[in-house]
Structure formats: structure tokens, C-alpha cells
């Protein structure tokens, strides 16, 4: 799974092989000495101060990719996508670069499910559903006899 989400929900839901190209806020680090911090430590610091700082005095930043910073693990993400038989792009307008380029590298069929326009041009192995994800997967479950 390749995600742009930073909320760690895929991992908490049980997904084991997640490439979070925009990082996540589950961990943080000191901008001066690189000391790592877990979310629970940050939560504890935020009960006492508005801006958490390391014991060295440096600012602590969540391990989330900010605008202007390099995206993480783009090469492994591209490898997963290019080796896929079927790529599901779910709930993304495909407008945030460079992750938006990943579907261009898909080795198989691409199914994009997103409400509204997406930044991927039509192609022979590309399928688009302009619909809400809950509605889409409700119909899939119905077809599979799961509801």
C-alpha cells in the first residue's frame, strides 16, 4: 500500500506493508540533535507547553513531509506500482506532486475512484469512477454478495 495520508490509520487498521510517502506524525525528531520521539512523548510535552522542544533546546518536528520537503520512499513506491497487476487509486485527485505521477508508472490496469476530476489522463488500461468511496465499495460488496 502506498499512501499520502499522514494519520497512520492504515497501519492501525492492520496494513503491514505501507509506504507513507508523506510520512506520518506517529514519530517526530529534534531538528537540532535528531533525537527521536514517539507520539506519546509529544502528547505529554503538549500538556505542558505549546511548542515541544527537545532537552537540547531544539524544536521537535513530526516526521511528516512539509511543503517544499522531499517526499519519502518514492523509489520503493514506484517499484510497487510498476510491478502491480492492478492499481487502485482511492480518494485522490492525483494533483499533489510527485506522488501524483505514481499511477503513470503502473504496470497493469489502473482504477481511479474519486469524487471529482483527477490529474490522470485517460488511457487503454485506465478506468475512472467519479463516485464516493463508500458508495463504490458498497456496490462492490453487493456484487460480491457481502452485504
Parallel, antiparallel, or unpaired: how do β-strands 60-64 and 23-30 relate? antiparallel
Nearest to 126 by CA among 113, 144, 135: 113
The rounded distance, in Å, linking the Cα atoms of 82 and 145 is 31
- The residue from 7, 15, 17, 33 that contacts Zn ion (CB under 5 A) is 33
- The residue from 1, 22, 35, 101 that contacts Zn ion (CB under 5 A) is 35
Stretch that binds Zn ion, among 6-14, 54-62, 102-110, 137-145 (CB under 5 A): 54-62
- The residue from 2, 21, 30, 99 that contacts Zn ion (CB under 5 A) is 30
Give yes or no for residue 29 binding Zn ion (CB under 5 A). Answer: no
Is residue 78 reached through a cis peptide bond, with omega within 30 degrees of 0 on the bond before it?
no
C-alpha to C-alpha distances, 132 to 6, 21, 119, nearest whole angstrom: 21, 24, 17
Length of the chain: 147
Minimum gap (Å) between residue 55 Cβ and Zn ion:
6
For the question of residue 10 being annotated catalytic, the response is no
- The residue from 2, 19, 20, 54 that contacts Zn ion (CB under 5 A) is 54
Q: Which residue ranges make up the site for Zn ion (CB under 5 A)?
A: 30, 32-33, 35, 54, 56, 58
Q: So which residues are the catalytic ones?
A: 22
Amino acid at each position: 500500500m502506498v499512501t499520502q495520508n499522514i494519520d497512520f490509520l492504515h497501519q492501525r487498521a492492520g496494513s503491514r506493508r505501507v509506504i507513507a510517502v508523506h510520512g506520518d506524525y506517529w514519530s517526530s525528531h529534534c531538528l537540532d540533535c535528531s533525537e527521536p520521539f514517539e507520539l506519546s512523548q509529544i502528547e505529554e510535552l503538549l500538556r505542558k507547553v505549546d511548542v515541544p522542544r527537545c532537552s537540547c533546546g531544539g524544536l521537535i518536528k513530526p516526521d511528516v513531509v512539509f511543503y517544499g520537503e522531499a517526499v519519502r520512499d518514492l523509489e520503493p513506491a514506484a517499484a510497487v506500482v510498476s510491478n502491480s497487476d492492478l492499481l487502485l487509486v482511492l480518494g485522490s485527485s492525483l494533483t499533489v506532486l510527485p506522488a501524483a505521477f505514481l499511477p503513470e508508472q503502473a504496470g497493469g490496469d489502473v482504477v481511479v475512484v474519486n469524487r471529482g476530476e483527477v490529474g490522470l489522463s485517460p488511457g487503454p488500461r485506465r478506468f475512472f469512477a467519479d463516485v464516493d468511496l463508500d458508495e463504490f465499495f458498497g456496490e462492490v460488496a453487493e456484487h460480491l454478495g457481502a452485504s
